[in-house]
Structure 1
Amino acid sequence: MMERLTVDVAIIGGGTAACAAAVALREAGLTVALLEKRLCGAGASGVNFGGVRQQGRDFSELPLSRRARVLWDGLNAKLGEDVGFEATGHIKLARSEADMAVLEAYARDAAEYGLDLQLLGPNALRAEMPWLGPAVVGASLSPTDGQANPRVVGPAFARLARRLGAEVREHAPVRHAAHDGAGFTVEAEGVSVRSRSLVNAAGAYGGAVAGWFGEAAPVAPLAPNMVVTEPLAPLVTRSIGVVGGDVYLRQTRRGNVVLGGGRGTADSADGLARPVAATSLGAMGKSLTLIPDLAHAQVIRSWSGLDGEMPDHIPVIGPSGTTPGLVHAFGFSGHGFQLGPVVGEILAELVTTGRSASPLQPFRIERFAAWRGPYRSEGEIEH
């Protein structure tokens, strides 16, 4: 039998942003039904690198990222669980003088947004990190950035949403949604939801949901290629990226070194992504040029996951341009993990007040109104 629910807000998607929105909406006193096709937090929110970074973002994202960073400090207390957040700092490495010039320019411009980055020359860098290889000539350090365990953050928000009274339905893929002038109807596997407002947080499928309401959103599948080693003795003290984003790595509390670089294969039809052996080997080789001491580490697993990527590499966040009561948040283009908690708050603001405390103009879906045809993106991936 088809179950029927009537709520204030229906949410399509079960990633961190969606589950954080469910929490914020319940805290605002609204009834919520969240519909996830598989398991909450098991999509892009749970398979990424786990970087909690402000450094290196598009400047349009920095106000959101700065606001998000404050939330991470209190996330364990809010969720009642340890999500593994540590402010280890994020260091971005230069492998040439041209790379260093990129870091210097970024640091200068980021200061206007309140982000204080420390530029390190080769001597200062190796005084702190003597295990770096000779390919590295300098770096930019964001000392307040860090890392967390992406596998637990989304599920922790989902559990809190349930405790607060949200209807969280997993294994409930949405087939269609529509607006009849009075409200929304969302048809999913085993359940039909009637709501006053609708949140489209459907990740790589956010464009398809937007299309049901006559809005163009050219989302392409993105599959980051990830690898993890056996537990090792403490070595990598910072979360590490490089100019260009072709490799990134960090060491967990347990000692495993997580590294990524390049892309896996993505199948939008079945919603799955798979790592590519040659890509994994390439990322391992690039990691060794940064940290030669990893040469004897044993790789124990590789994986990928399905994210959504926009042509301009920044997400869609904001109200629908065609349908009152519909708000979007998708297409985070490989760097949405750190933003998830604050995007949940922003979605709740948009639903309850129609506006946000954060600047959202760069993320409006209307920027793609004139878009035509496919695109091939080779943008930087570094969660």
Structure 2
Amino acid sequence: MSERLTTDVAIIGGGTAGCAAALALRKRGLSVVLLDKGFCGAGASGVNFGGVRRQGRSFAELPLAARARPLWDRLPELVGEDGEFKATGHVKLARSEADMATLETYAQGAAEHGLDLKLIGPNAVRDAYPWLGPKVVGASLCADDGQANPRLVGPAFARAARRAGADIRELTRVESASFGGETFETVAAGGLRVESRWLINVAGAWAGKVAEWFGDPAPVATLAPNMAVTEPLPFFISRSIGVCGGDVYVRQVDRGNVVFGGGAGWGDIDLDRARPLAPTTETAMAKLIDMIPALKGAMVIRSWSGLDGEMPDHIPVIGPGLHHPRLLHAFGFSGHGFQLGPAVGEVLCELIVDGETSTDIKAFAIARFQ
């Protein structure tokens, strides 16, 4: 039996950004219907590394990342749960003098955008982190960055949005969407039709297909992160850690498990399937042991992947569509959207309610792909 709903805003996609937008819109008094083909927070928002970092981002992303950072401190207030967020700091390691020069150049540019990074030389990095391997020659520290549990954060925003009055439909795959001159009509499996004045496309790896329905160019590639976690170990990795070049990253949670990733798994957007690849995991493990020799012999107990969208310039699309000003896009976070999600939701809400946002998003316009 078909069902028809009428709402102020329809949202396609139930990741952290979509659910944060639903929550923010409800707080401003707008009605919201959110549709997700699976479960909220189970897509790219739930399969990533869990890094809550500003360091290492494109400078274009830093204003948005700066806006997002205090929201992580306020998670218990915003959604009633802490998402296991901790401001552990984020360390980016250099494995050569060329890497160290890259970190120094980045720190200089980041300072112009208000991000304070501490450069650490070879002796100081050994004193601070004696468990690092001999290939590490220095590092850059962002002391206020951190980490959280991606399995918890997206669902927490969804629950908060539902409590605030958003109509959230999980296991509801969108089949089409169109604009009829005054309103959008979004059609989902099972005969559900949603009529809305505004439409938000936060469909992750599938967002390019949604954008195509409205004639917006969106060269979204499929990204499948390759992730793994070890058995619980005695706690010693106090920071969230990346490397210059980004080929491996690692953090340890309070329970002792070491979460790490690097390289790409296998993913097929048409099949809606992704899986980790054993050779990729083994390569990441070898690099990880080079960086942290104490992890040699640790047992990997689980590996996973998922599907995310990646843009050619590795920064997202955020803002109005080219042909329909009441169509908003937010996708293509290219594997590093987890930290940004809560702020993206607020920005989308501001664009709808206020007609503008206080955060600089010019670099993210979809027009750059025309």
Runs ≥4 in structure 1, deviation > 6 angstroms? Answer: none
Aligned-partner SS, 2:100: helix
Aligned-CA RMSD value: 0.6
Q: Tell me the distance in 1 between the aligned counterparts of 2:64 and 2:177.
A: 29
Q: Tell me the distance in 2 between the aligned counterparts of 1:198 and 1:33.
A: 10
- Which residue number corresponds to residue 222 of structure 2? 221
- Which residue number corresponds to residue 332 of structure 1? 333
Question: 1:303-347 CA distances to partner (integer Å, 9 max, x unpaired)?
Answer: 001000000000000011111210000000000000000000001
| Counterparts of residues 1-383 of structure 1 (less than 5 Å) | 1-190=1-190, 191-369=192-370
Q: Tell me the distance in 1 between the aligned counterparts of 2:41 and 2:224.
A: 16
Question: 1:127-150 CA distances to partner (integer Å, 9 max, x unpaired)?
Answer: 111000001000000000000000
Q: CA deviation at 1:118?
A: 0.3
Aligned residues: 369
TM-score by length of 2: 0.99
- Which residue number corresponds to residue 375 of structure 1? none
Q: CA deviation at 1:189?
A: 1.7
Q: CA deviation at 1:99?
A: 0.1
Q: CA deviation at 1:296?
A: 1.9
Q: Which letter does structure 1 place at the counterpart of 2:226? A: N
Q: CA deviation at 1:35?
A: 0.2
For structure 1, which runs of at least 5 residues remain unmatched after alignment?
Answer: 370-383
Identity of aligned residues (%): 65
Q: CA deviation at 1:3?
A: 1.4
For structure 2, which runs of at least 5 residues remain unmatched after alignment?
Answer: none
Aligned-partner SS, 2:176: strand
Q: Tell me the distance in 2 between the aligned counterparts of 1:139 and 1:110.
A: 15
Q: Tell me the distance in 2 between the aligned counterparts of 1:352 and 1:367.
A: 25
Q: Which letter does structure 2 place at the counterpart of 1:124? A: A
TM-score by length of 1: 0.96
Aligned-partner SS, 1:234: coil
Could you tell which deviates more after superposition, 41-50 or 121-130?
Answer: 121-130
Q: CA deviation at 1:360?
A: 1.1
- Which residue number corresponds to residue 378 of structure 1? none
Q: Which letter does structure 2 place at the counterpart of 1:216? A: P
Could you tell which deviates more after superposition, 334-343 or 354-363?
Answer: 354-363
Aligned-partner SS, 1:61: helix
Aligned-partner SS, 1:103: helix
Q: Which letter does structure 2 place at the counterpart of 1:286? A: K
Q: CA deviation at 1:353?
A: 1.9
Q: Which letter does structure 2 place at the counterpart of 1:90? A: H
Q: CA deviation at 1:270?
A: 2.0
Q: Which letter does structure 1 place at the counterpart of 2:36? A: E
Q: Tell me the distance in 2 between the aligned counterparts of 1:51 and 1:272.
A: 23
Q: Tell me the distance in 2 between the aligned counterparts of 1:113 and 1:287.
A: 31
Q: Tell me the distance in 2 between the aligned counterparts of 1:331 and 1:273.
A: 17
Question: 1:216-249 CA distances to partner (integer Å, 9 max, x unpaired)?
Answer: 1000000010010001111111000000000000
Aligned-partner SS, 1:60: helix
